[in-house]
């Protein structure tokens, strides 16, 4: 009896929709003004992007203590500009390293990259759409 398992395979998409707290960006804009807020968000996005790149390099080198340190910095910065999902996934990564759960580290890091990309683009577009 020959089984055709190919018909049972479901392709899952790898896109992420970021969970954002736009009220944080609106509040920053109210407190700082549009241009100053946009400058702060752009600097934060560049910093997050650099740290995410560094995290991926440290992960390739199996330097988990550095990956955890970078994850913690990603949490702090992303929360300040309302990137809730990005912060949550970075927290999950830091937790998995703290708990020595090496099985999940690479999967969570891959998800962090996907969520990070979507979140960072959202933060940059926010002022174009709502500013």
In a domain, 36, yes or no: yes
In-domain check, residue 7: no
User: What's the pLDDT score for residue 96?
Assistant: 96
Q: What helix, strand, coil percent values describe the chain, rounded to 5? A: 80, 0, 20
Count of the separate structural domains present in the chain: 1
pLDDT digits (tens, 9 = 90+) for 38-69: 899 999 999 999 999 999 999 999 999 999 99
**5 domain-assigned:** no
H or E element that contains 16: none
Tell me the whole-structure pTM to 2 decimals. Answer: 0.82
Instruction: Tell me which long-range contacts 123-126 makes (C-beta under 8 A, separation of at least 24).
Output: 123/20, 123/25, 123/41, 123/44, 123/45, 123/81, 123/82, 123/83, 124/41, 124/42, 124/45, 126/22, 126/25, 126/41
Per the listing, tokens 């049972």 go with 8
Cα of 63 vs its chain's centroid, Å: 19
| Structural domain for 95, as ranges | 20-130
In a domain, 14, yes or no: no
Any domain includes 8: no
Q: Considering the domain boundaries, does residue 9 fall inside one?
A: no
Q: How far apart are the first and last CA of the chain?
A: 63
Instruction: Please report, in tens digits, the pLDDT of each residue of the chain (131 residues total).
Output: 444 555 666 554 555 666 788 899 889 999 999 899 989 999 999 999 999 999 999 999 999 999 999 999 999 999 999 999 999 999 999 999 999 988 899 999 999 999 998 899 888 887 666 55
**CATH code assigned at 110:** 1.20.120
């Amino acid at each position: 009896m020959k089984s055709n398992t190919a018909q049972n395979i479901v392709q899952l998409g790898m896109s992420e929709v970021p969970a954002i707290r736009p009220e944080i960006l609106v509040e920053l804009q109210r407190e700082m003004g549009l241009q100053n807020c946009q400058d702060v968000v752009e600097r934060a996005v560049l910093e997050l992007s650099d740290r995410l790149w560094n995290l991926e390099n440290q992960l390739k080198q199996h330097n988990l203590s550095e990956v955890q340190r970078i994850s913690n910095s990603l949490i702090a910065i992303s929360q300040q500009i309302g990137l809730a999902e990005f912060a949550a996934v970075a927290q999950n990564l830091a937790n998995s390293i703290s708990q020595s759960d090496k099985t999940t580290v690479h999967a969570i890091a891959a998800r962090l990259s996907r969520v990070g990309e979507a979140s960072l683009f959202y933060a940059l577009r926010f002022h174009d759409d709502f500013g």
